[in-house]
Amino acid sequence: MIKDIQGLLDDSFNAAKNEIADTNGKNRLSAYLNGMAVEEAVKSDSEIDSTAQKIAGAETDDREKAWLIYVWICRNIKYDYDKAVIIKYDPSKAISGAIETFNTRKGVCFDFSSLYVAMCRSVGLKVRLVTGYGYTGTAWVDHVWNQIYNTKNNYWINLDSTFGVSGINYFNNPYFGMDHRDGIVQGEW
C-alpha cells in the first residue's frame, strides 16, 4: 500500500506549491495543502464531533484517547488512489479536508491528518498537523502526519494514520524516524 503512493504525493505537493506561490515567488505551503487552507481542512461538524466523543468514551488519559481515534481512522478510512491521481494533476479539482474524508470514508494523507485533527479537537486533545517526507520503501515523498501532546509525560507523540492503514502500528512507533523525516508543523490546535 505505502509503495503505491510514492510519486503521487510528490507531484501533488509540487502542484500545490506552484499554485500558491505569491508574486514574490515565496511559497505559502504552511497555509495551503492540496489547494486548500489548512484551517478550512481541519474544520469539524456535529457528526465528526459526536463520533470522536463516542470513540473516546469515558477515557480521561490523553494518550489513550489519541490512540482510540488513531485506531478508528486506520480501520474506517481508506486510501483514495483515484484522488491522489487527480491531485497530482490539478489539486483544485479535489475536495479535501476532515468533513469530506469522514463522509466518504476515504482520502489521501492530508485528509487522514485533517480528520485526525478535527476528531482530536472534539475531545480536547492538543494536536498538530505536520508535513515532511515519508519513505514508501522505494522513495522519499512529500507526506502529512500528526503529533499529539501527551500531557501526562509532557512530550509530543508522532503518529501516521495513513501509513497505519497498512496494518503496521504508526502510533508512537520507536522507529517512526526511519520512514518519516524533515517534519514541519503546519498547524497546532
Identify residue 184 by its one-letter amino acid code: I
Cell, residue 163: 501509513
- Torsion angle, alpha carbons of 137, 138, 139, 144, to 10: -30
CA angle 111, 130, 61 (to 5 degrees): 85
Q: Give strand ranges (E) for 13-150.
A: 32-33, 36-37, 78-79, 106-107, 127-135, 140-150
pLDDT in tens, 3-55: 444 444 444 444 444 443 344 443 444 446 777 889 999 999 999 999 999 99
Match 479536508 to its residue by C-alpha cell: 97
* 113-138 tens-digit pLDDT: 999 999 999 999 999 999 999 998 99
Domains of the chain, by residue range, sit at 3-188
pTM: 0.84
Does the structural domain 3-188 have CATH classification 1.10.10? no
